[in-house]
């Protein structure tokens, strides 16, 4: 447990110090949220209708944009080989790095998204369910992004390949995440079934992503 927390803390400190993950993610998110109303025009009803979906799309693209940095630095300086030969299983290392990415890139965006939703005329009644759904779903977004980063580590233009590999896996998260958010004004009979499916996807990613990431990293390190 101490080794896991050490890797988690190390990645968080490095990520905050470098500013790459959080800076890229927040910058892209703000760009989408600010420019979308300008592109669509002054139709407030239309903006309110598309706000939840637009915020979810901005969130997943922002997380995906910063995914290639999860393993790149460790791969280039040889730290990844040291971690792979250490006492901690590589699956646990992959989980720690995924959680670190979520804590410095995914979670902050999920928290500020409802506050920035006013730029898209987001219905105030949807803000609590938007916050709940994004905090939950952003964890799966980071886990899947880390899996793509492990598969493409060491490859040129890895960021583009991550997008091609992971975007199809994001579709169920997008569907049920938006369903949870827009269902918040329609009553618990609409919201909670979608939220439980979203939570099931997160739990599945929590199991599958570290296993797949570790297998991909071992293949690259051979």
Query: pLDDT of 57-110, one tens digit each?
Result: 999 988 888 887 788 878 877 778 888 887 788 899 999 999 999 998 889 999
Going by the DSSP 8-state scheme, the letter that residue 184 receives in this structure is G
Instruction: Answer whether 0.85 is exceeded by the pTM.
Output: yes
Q: For position 188, what pLDDT does the model report?
A: 45
The Cα 134–Cα 109 span in angstroms is 9
Please return the burial class of 46, using the count of CB atoms within 10 Å of its CB with bins 0-12, 13-18 and 19+.
middle
């Amino acid at each position: 447990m101490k080794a896991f927390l050490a890797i988690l803390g190390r990645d968080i400190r490095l990520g905050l110090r470098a500013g790459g993950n959080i800076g890229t993610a927040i910058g892209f998110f703000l760009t989408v949220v600010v420019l979308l109303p300008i592109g669509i025009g002054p139709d407030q009803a239309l903006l309110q209708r598309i706000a939840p979906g637009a915020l979810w799309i901005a969130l997943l693209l922002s997380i995906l944009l910063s995914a290639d940095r999860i393993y790149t630095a460790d791969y280039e300086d040889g730290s990844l080989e040291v971690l792979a030969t250490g006492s901690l299983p590589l699956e646990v290392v992959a989980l720690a790095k995924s959680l670190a990415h979520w804590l410095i890139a995914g979670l902050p965006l999920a928290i500020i998204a409802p506050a920035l939703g006013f730029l898209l005329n987001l219905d105030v009644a949807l803000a609590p369910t938007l916050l709940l759904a994004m905090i939950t779903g952003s964890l799966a977004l980071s886990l899947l992004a880390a899996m793509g980063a492990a598969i493409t580590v060491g490859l040129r233009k890895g960021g583009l390949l991550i997008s091609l590999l992971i975007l199809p896996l994001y579709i169920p998260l997008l569907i049920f995440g938006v369903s949870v958010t827009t269902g918040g004004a329609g009553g618990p009979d609409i919201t909670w079934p979608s939220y439980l499916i979203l939570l099931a996807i997160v739990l599945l990613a929590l199991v599958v992503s570290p296993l797949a990431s570790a297998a991909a990293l071992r293949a690259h390190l051979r």
